[in-house]
């Protein structure tokens, strides 16, 4: 009897581990619908199903939601036999898929955990083999798996509502945390060699606690008990640079590279990766944000995935908005603009080439915002923006996990 209970607990532990992986994998894709859609687009192109590209984003999000709900069901232990069969079938499919990827090694990301964790094809295969082994131990022979307590139906329902709400929020907004190359704190590399010699510069952040000061990088910030004091710029030999550097290539209508414009002073970059899908009122908001940034001393740049002729022929841009954007419009690659800002018409603030923060297309800043920030230290804005998003994201994951595990 005791051995039977111990074995049952081990089975539940294995099921919970598999569930946590599914839950996190789903959440990591839900919070970035555009990124999940890009991964699925690569799979469709790989197997020559290009006609499915228009539905890649909603389909990717639907699959991610299903993954997270399946993970929640595994953790809570509801409908155990049905959930066990579905889990095994899904893991079998993923194992075969990653086996094919490991054999043929195409140049695509497996997308298992979205942008948060990147695995090689071999690592993805090993991950799925381990999960399959855990699931077989937890479920085989798919009978007498026990029943859940009634409260677990409630905890699953609460988690499902939270996950659905999180999906809606993520669909309407840019990700809370940026795991792309264009994350806050990243620094631009420009095509022009403006820096002589082998010197590189980077920012560090000085915090204070109990009268003692400490120096931190963006990847190693202290907890909330520390107080931000100032930013310092340090220089070192170029061969010692390990910080992430990013390139933002764009050009004018004649094809001349103009990327140096984004690396000097305060710059607001509005990125539009699909101009034809931007409505007239959004163009008005974009034009107003550009005008407000310019009035506050920022350099506004509008980067579009288009051509001059196509932009001039867009009927959705009213004359007044066209006049405001005409002098700052440049052209860039679609995937680059998608990586820079997930919103079609979103904005990104750079200060001397360092990415400070991003804005969603539905909440573009106005002139008053820029005037209020023009005299502040941009690094403090960057830290506040990054920390707030990270705490919200981590808090959501912890709350959902706690509801499933503890309720």
Q: Which of 72-81, 178-187, 209-218 has the lowest mean pLDDT?
A: 209-218
Residue 110 has pLDDT above 90, yes or no: no
Contacts of 42 (CB under 8 A, 6+ apart): 108, 109, 111
- Determine the Cα–Cα distance for residues 3 and 10; give it in Å rounded to an integer: 11
Distance set, CA 326 to CA 282, 308, 349, 366, 369 (Å): 16, 10, 20, 19, 23
- Determine the Cα–Cα distance for residues 336 and 248; give it in Å rounded to an integer: 8
- Determine the Cα–Cα distance for residues 222 and 321; give it in Å rounded to an integer: 44
Query: What is the reported pLDDT for 241?
Result: 38
DSSP assignment of 80-108 = HHHHHHHHHHHHHHHHHHHHHHHHH--SS
Give 164-210 pLDDT, tens digit per residue.
Answer: 999 999 999 999 999 999 999 999 987 654 444 444 545 566 666 66
Q: Which of 82-91, 149-158, 330-339, 369-378 has the lowest mean pLDDT?
A: 369-378
Q: Which of 111-115, 134-138, 213-217, 391-395 has the lowest mean pLDDT?
A: 213-217
Local structure of 232: helix, strand or coil: strand
Going from N- to C-terminal start, the domains of the chain cover 2-172, 187-240, 245-391
- Determine the Cα–Cα distance for residues 345 and 360; give it in Å rounded to an integer: 8
- Determine the Cα–Cα distance for residues 68 and 72; give it in Å rounded to an integer: 6
CB atoms within 10 A of CB 371: 15
Say if residues 24 and 164 touch (Cβ distance below 8 Å). no
DSSP assignment of 290-325 = HHHHHHTT-EEEEEESS-HHHHHT-TTS-HHHHHHH
**Which of these, 41, 28, 16, 117, lies nearest to 68 by C-alpha position?**
28
- Determine the Cα–Cα distance for residues 110 and 128; give it in Å rounded to an integer: 12
Residue 213 has pLDDT above 70, yes or no: no
User: For a pLDDT cut of 90, what percent of the chain falls above it?
Assistant: 70
Contacts of 393 (CB under 8 A, 6+ apart): 31, 176, 177
CATH of domain 245-391: 3.40.30.10
Taking the model in full, what pTM does it have? 0.84
Residue 12 has pLDDT above 60, yes or no: yes
User: What's the burial of 257, exposed, middle or buried (CB within 10 Å: 0-12/13-18/19+)?
Assistant: middle
Local structure of 18: helix, strand or coil: helix
Interhelix angle 56-76/2-30, rounded to 10 degrees, is 160
Phi, psi of 144, rounded to the nearest 5 degrees: 50, 45
Q: What is the mean pLDDT of the chain?
A: 87
Query: What is the reported pLDDT for 3?
Result: 58
Of 113 and 233, more confident: 113
Local structure of 357: helix, strand or coil: strand
Phi, psi of 185, rounded to the nearest 5 degrees: 100, -15
């Amino acid at each position: 009897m005791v051995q039977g209970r111990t074995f049952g607990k081990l089975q539940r532990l294995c099921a919970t581990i598999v569930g946590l992986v599914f839950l996190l994998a789903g959440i990591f894709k839900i919070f970035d619908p555009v990124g999940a859609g890009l991964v699925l687009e690569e799979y469709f192109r790989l197997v020559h199903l290009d006609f499915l590209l228009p539905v890649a984003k909603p389909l990717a999000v639907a699959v991610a939601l299903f993954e997270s709900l399946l993970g929640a069901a595994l953790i809570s232990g509801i409908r155990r036999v049905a959930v066990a069969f579905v889990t095994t079938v899904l893991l079998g499919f993923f194992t075969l898929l990653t086996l094919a990827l490991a054999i043929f090694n195409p140049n695509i990301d497996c997308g298992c955990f979205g942008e948060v964790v990147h695995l090689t094809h071999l690592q993805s295969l090993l991950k799925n083999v381990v999960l399959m082994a855990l699931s077989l131990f937890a479920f085989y022979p798919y009978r007498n798996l026990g029943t859940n307590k009634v409260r677990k139906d409630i905890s699953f329902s609460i988690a499902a509502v939270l996950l659905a709400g999180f999906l809606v929020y993520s669909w309407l907004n840019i990700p809370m945390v940026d795991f792309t190359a264009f994350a806050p704190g990243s620094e631009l590399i420009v095509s022009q060699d403006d820096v002589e010699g082998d010197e590189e510069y980077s920012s560090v952040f000085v915090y204070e606690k109990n009268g003692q000061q400490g120096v931190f990088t963006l990847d190693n910030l202290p907890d909330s008990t520390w107080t931000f004091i100032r930013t310092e710029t340090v220089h070192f030999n170029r061969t010692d640079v390990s910080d992430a550097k990013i390139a933002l290539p764009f050009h004018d209508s004649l094809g001349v590279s103009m990327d140096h414009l984004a690396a000097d002073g305060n710059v607001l970059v509005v990125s539009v990766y699909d101009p034809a899908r931007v409505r007239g009122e959004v163009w008005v908001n974009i034009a107003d944000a550009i005008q407000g940034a310019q009035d506050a001393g920022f350099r506004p740049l509008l980067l579009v995935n288009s051509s001059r002729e196509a932009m001039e022929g867009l009927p959705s841009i009213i004359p007044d908005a066209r006049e405001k954007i005409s002098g700052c419009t440049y052209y860039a690659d679609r995937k680059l603009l998608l990586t820079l800002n997930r919103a079609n018409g979103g904005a990104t603030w750079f200060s001397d080439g360092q990415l400070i923060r991003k804005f969603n297309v539905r909440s573009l800043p106005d002139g008053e915002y820029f005037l209020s920030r023009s005299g502040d230290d941009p690094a403090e804005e960057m830290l506040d923006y990054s920390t707030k998003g990270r705490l919200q994201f981590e808090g959501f994951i912890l709350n959902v996990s706690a509801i499933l595990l503890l309720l």
